[in-house]
Amino acid sequence: MTFRIVFAGTPEFAVPCLRAAAKFGEVVAVYTQPDRPAGRGRALTPSPVKREALQRGIEVFQPETLREKVSRDALRALKPDLMVVVAYGLILPQKVLDIPTHGCWNVHASLLPRWRGAAPIQRAIEAGDTETGVCLMRMEKGLDTGPVLLSQRIDIGAQETGGQLHDRLSDLGAQVLADGLGLLRADIVPVAVPQPAEGVTYAHKLDKHEAKLDWTQPAVVLANKVRAFNPWPVAEAELAGERVRIHGAVALDLAHDQSPGRVIAAGRDGIDIACGDGALRIRSLQREGGKAITAADYLNARRDLLATAG
């Protein structure tokens, strides 16, 4: 069975899924967000999905919304058997969901119903989750509420960052999508399993203001934030009178009587900062206007911390 696929996606995360879709069906069109200003020159820049589509000679549509009749008519004219949606960034109205013969499938980077919403990868790390995964879901009107067709679980590494987990889940998403498309090509529709009512959580969009660390919080909480917010928005904090961005840190189960934010120890292994509970050992950080460096290199410029530690 051959079928016509319309693919909708925008960021780098969706590119492996587009490649998988192209292997299992005829991708007749790609929908992606309009070009946005980027870089120092703020030039209009195509999305990663658009670049991949153009390289493959696939027609690209970039509507501002899918709520208008003209947009729906354009989609209907493509006669899609299936629409695959991966981190597209636009809401699909019910009238759009009803157009493809087999409906719309969504690849979502969490184990639904946990972490519905915009930032499931980062929120899982921030919450201290030890596992996550990918769900292939049949879309409905609600936010990530549709029944799950297929899923795969993976462990989250103890020191894994948001960027590292993003890349692993991007590849896993393509694998799960390929499994689903393989079944559909064999004229087998995956069984749709409704999501349980229990365990629903929402992964709200990341905000740059969240990056500021509060030393009164437990070290474990701060270490998870550092991991989750790498590579964006990158955790930041006040360190001995200087604003720095923290790229790598671990929590220490360390009893102390120091006030939160005080440097307890400093050396080649890192800079230990007193927290509300335990201490955070900073291993990699960035000064304003500089690049990420090790704590040892930072201390070469901040010898005062060696003398004041503790």
Q: Does the annotation place 113 within a ligand binding site?
A: yes
List Cα–Cα distances, 140 to 64, 91, 93, 105, 179, in angstroms.
21, 11, 9, 9, 21
Burial 121-135 (b: 16+ CB within 10 A, else e): bbbbbbeebeebbbb
CA distance 82 to 304: 62
- At 154 the three-state DSSP class reads strand
Q: Which of 105, 228, 221 is nearest to 164 (CA)?
A: 228
CA distance 256 to 237: 20
Using alpha carbons only, how large is the chain's radius of gyration in Å? 23
Q: Does the annotation place 111 within a ligand binding site?
A: yes
CB 142 within 8 A of CB 116: no
Beta-strand relationship, 104-108 and 292-294: unpaired
CB 266 within 8 A of CB 282: no
CB 54 within 8 A of CB 21: no
Taking phi first (over 0 means left), then psi (-120 to 50 degrees means alpha), and beta for anything else, what does residue 218 get?
Answer: beta
Q: Which of 74, 283, 179 is nearest to 8 (CA)?
A: 74
Burial 41-69 (b: 16+ CB within 10 A, else e): eeeeebbbbbebbeeeebebbebeebeee
Output the known binding site for (6S)-5,6,7,8-tetrahydrofolate.
Answer: 110-113
Known binding-site positions: 110-113
